[in-house]
Amino acid sequence: MQPAVTLRVTRYRPEQESEPTLATYEVPYRKDWVVLDALNYIKDTLDGSLSFRWSCRMGVCGSCGMKVNGSPKLTCASFLSDSLPGPIRVEPLDYFPVVRDLVVDMSDFMRKLKKVKPWIIRHDERPLAEGEYLQTPDQLDAYKQFSMCINCMLCYSACPIYGLEPSFIGPAAIALAQRYNMDSRDEGAPERLEILSEHDGIWQCTFVGECTKVCPKHVDPAGAIQQYKLTGAIHWLKSLLLPRGAR
């Protein structure tokens, strides 16, 4: 007989249920299957109404984030073999409103991301005829790690501060702000610091560090937040000690 594994999967269809429940499915066990394969098996053969997001199946698009046995994970990178003997619990990410089954609404993050201006800001654009802005390998290394973010939201789901204070701007938005601050072509750091120094910005983080632990791309948002706090503190000190023109 083919070996099987049990999945306990959140179902929530707002038009017919007042709250989420867990449904049980038996799926074939294959050594090379990830949780996303098992969800696709359920959708293709057991219940076509199960809703979840995915796209690339290779840890790039960031859309398949869910909780697997209580931890935020990319389901396309979570092998069934790591959770044996099961049952394996699959739930939507914490702290985001659930639209349906395993699908969450990420509008809050999209709004916050826009606030930190995640693009290159320049006060004077160089004419095209002068060519591109060149960077050394060291200048690239300064921000490359933060540029690896795939907006998967695992760090928000792991962050107890975001859970308690939904207004907190959150780990990925801060890491992505830092991605541009550290870019030698960018001149927008003071604008971003102003936004991130607000009540809902960097100072809400108490350095729990879970965001960095769950990040599948090694972005280290906790590190970005600590860097930012240092910059914010130096800026504040300078504002006390130095006249405006000398800061």
Residue the block writes with tokens 């930190």: 116
Among 219, 222, 225, 229, binds ligand SF4 (CB under 6 A): 219
Binding mask 140-169 for ligand SF4 (x = CB under 6 A): ---------xxxxxxx--------------
Instruction: Report the residue number, 42 or 172, with the smaller CB distance to ligand SF4.
Output: 172
Cβ neighbour number for residue 210 with a 10 Å cutoff: 19
Q: Which residue, 189 or 214, is less far from ligand SF4 as judged by CB?
A: 214
Place of tokens 């591109």: 132
**For ligand SF4, the closer CB: 171 or 188:** 171
103 touches ligand FES by CB under 6 A: no
**DSSP letters along 201-241, please?**
SGGG-----HHHHH-TT---HHHHHHHHHHHHHHHHHHHHH
In angstroms and rounded to an integer, the radius of gyration of the C-alpha atoms of the chain is 21
Question: Interaction with ligand FES in 51-70: which residues (CB under 6 A)?
Answer: 54-57, 59-64
Which of the listed partners (ligand SF4, ligand FES, none) does 155 bind, with a CB threshold of 5 to 8 Å by partner kind? ligand SF4
Length of the chain counted residue by residue: 247
Residue 64 in the binding site for ligand SF4 (CB under 6 A): no
Beta bridge partners of 98: 104
Q: Please report how close the Cβ of residue 215 comes to ligand FES at its closest, in angstroms.
A: 13
Answer whether 41's CB lies under 8 Å from 26's CB.
Answer: no
CB of residue 246 to ligand SF4, shortest distance in Å: 36
Closest CA to 102 of 143, 137, 51: 51
Tokens 């859970």: give the residue: 163
Q: CA dihedral defined by 143, 216, 119, 105, rounded to 10 degrees?
A: -160
Site for ligand FES (CB under 6 A): which residue of 27, 35, 68, 76?
76
Phi-psi region of 103 (alpha: psi -120 to 50; beta: other; left: phi over 0): beta
CA distance 116 to 181: 10
Q: How far is the CB of 74 from ligand SF4 (least distance, A)?
A: 8
Residue 221 binds ligand SF4, judged by CB under 6 A: yes
171 binds ligand SF4 (CB under 6 A): yes
How many residues line the site for ligand FES (CB under 6 A)?
12
Report the interface residues with ligand SF4, using CB under 6 A. Answer: 149-155, 171-172, 175, 214-215, 217, 219, 221
Report the interface residues with ligand FES, using CB under 6 A. Answer: 54-57, 59-64, 74, 76
